């Protein structure tokens, strides 16, 4: 149902051309927001999201930028604001997953993942914060992961480190921006069926992974992008106006956390 809870708001969704980002962009628009859909390389996919939003009678624009680059992010925010108006809602969704272990990982891959997953959150937040501070309003939602809580999934240690960094940035940005009426929260998804998690895996491998994770879930299933979009929308709305510096886990009730040991 279109509740209109984002009527008059402008949202920027990084990594918005597919997966969770696309689901978030489309849900925010369905509920009234104008949306800037960020992409790095998938121009056609971003254009399709924009077209879908416009078909609903909402405003949207595709904005290209590598979030690892502060100059590109600054230009992206300027373009989004010029097209739609000042950003009210920032969803830091863009991310990479590179696997590896302590004794076997690719330093270049880890550095790239850090620049996107961590520096990207810093760059985008710093770029939108001044206008949010000026109008004394803002909603910032970061996408972390239950990996940051310590899931017992092999070869995700370095990815978990980047998502742990996102969580401390969430807390610290909430501290810095709270006095200006800006909330900063994070969503921690479990396994969500997106292109990112299936890349490099055969259909058979993915099916085995889905079944294995489903057995570790209290709800007996893995997640869909819409499961996360709904949580993001709550944190982006005025309904969560008295929440900041918080982490909401959406993982179906996973039981494979190291903290359970």
Residue pLDDT tens, the chain, 261 long:
456 999 999 999 999 999 999 999 999 999 999 999 999 999 999 999 999 999 999 999 999 999 999 999 999 999 999 999 999 999 999 999 999 999 999 999 999 999 999 999 999 999 999 999 999 999 999 999 999 999 989 999 999 999 999 999 999 999 999 999 999 999 999 999 987 666 767 888 889 889 999 999 999 999 999 999 999 999 999 999 999 999 999 999 999 998 765
Give the global pTM: 0.94
Q: What's 57's DSSP letter? A: T
Catalytic residue among 39, 105, 137, 159: 159
Give the per-residue pLDDT at 47. 97
Residue 143 contacts by C-beta under 8 Å, 6 or more apart in sequence? 20, 91, 92, 93, 95, 166, 186, 187, 189, 228, 232
Give the per-residue pLDDT at 202. 80
Give the per-residue pLDDT at 1. 42
Give the per-residue pLDDT at 198. 67
CA 84 to centroid of chain Cα atoms: 21
Q: How many angstroms separate the CA atoms of 146 and 216, rounded? A: 13
Q: Is 105 a catalytic residue?
A: no
Q: Nearest 5°: phi and psi at 188?
A: -115, 95
Q: Nearest 5°: phi and psi at 41?
A: -130, -20
CA dist 238 → 24, 25, 42 (Å): 16, 17, 32
Give the per-residue pLDDT at 176. 98
**If DSSP codes are grouped into helix, strand and coil, which group holds residue 21?**
helix
Element (H, E) at 183: strand 182-189
Tell me the CA end-to-end span of the chain in Å, nearest whole number. 42
Give the per-residue pLDDT at 259. 74
Give the per-residue pLDDT at 122. 98
CA dist 15 → 76, 102, 146, 166 (Å): 12, 28, 19, 16
């Amino acid at each position: 149902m279109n509740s209109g809870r984002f009527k008059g708001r402008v949202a920027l969704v990084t990594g918005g051309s597919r997966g969770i980002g696309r689901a978030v962009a489309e849900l925010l628009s369905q509920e009234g927001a104008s949306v800037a859909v960020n992409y790095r390389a998938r121009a056609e996919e971003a254009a399709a999201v924009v077209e879908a939003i416009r078909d609903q009678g909402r405003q949207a624009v595709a904005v290209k930028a590598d979030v690892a680059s502060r100059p590109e992010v600054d230009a992206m925010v300027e373009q989004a604001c010029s097209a739609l108006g000042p950003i009210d809602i920032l969803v830091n969704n863009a991310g990479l997953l590179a696997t590896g272990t302590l004794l076997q990982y690719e330093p270049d891959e880890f550095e790239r993942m850090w620049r996107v997953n961590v520096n990207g959150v810093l760059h985008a937040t710093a770029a939108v914060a001044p206008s949010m501070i000026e109008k004394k309003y803002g909603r910032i939602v970061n996408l972390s992961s239950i990996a940051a809580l310590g899931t017992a999934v092999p070869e995700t240690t370095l990815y978990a480190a980047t998502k742990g960094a996102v969580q401390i940035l969430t807390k610290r940005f909430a501290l810095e921006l709270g006095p200006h009426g800006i909330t900063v929260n994070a969503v921690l998804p479990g396994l969500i069926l997106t292109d990112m998690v299936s890349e490099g895996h055969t259909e058979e491998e993915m099916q085995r992974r889905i079944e294995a994770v489903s057995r570790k879930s209290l709800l007996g299933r893995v997640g869909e992008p819409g499961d996360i979009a709904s949580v993001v929308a709550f944190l982006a709305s005025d309904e969560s106006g008295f929440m900041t510096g918080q982490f909401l886990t959406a993982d179906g009730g996973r039981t494979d956390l190291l903290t359970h040991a």
